[in-house]
Amino acid sequence: MTVPRLALVAALSLASAACASQRPVSGRPPIPPSVPKEFLHFTDAAVEAGQVAPDFTLPYSVGEGSLTLSSLRGKPVVLVFASHT
């Protein structure tokens, strides 16, 4: 598998695992009180459901090259913005 496909499979696996939990999701998760305010950069969604997402390009995490969102137009895409330490 290529790096972008592997990342997509991993993201889809995580998304399906989260959906399988049957827990209702509403809003943002609670923020621990120990998190300094300068690290909080939340904004509301820039686009509504059904609108086209703004195009962007990200470099591959391994190797050379990059992936542009518009190159995936017409295919299912899951974006997971998270911090994994």
pLDDT tens digits for range 53-68? 888 898 988 889 999 9
Using CA atoms, how far apart are residues 44 and 49, in angstroms rounded to an integer?
A: 13
More confident residue, 57 or 13: 57
pLDDT tens for each residue of 21-55: 555 555 667 778 887 877 776 666 667 778 888 88
Using CA atoms, how far apart are residues 40 and 42, in angstroms rounded to an integer?
A: 6
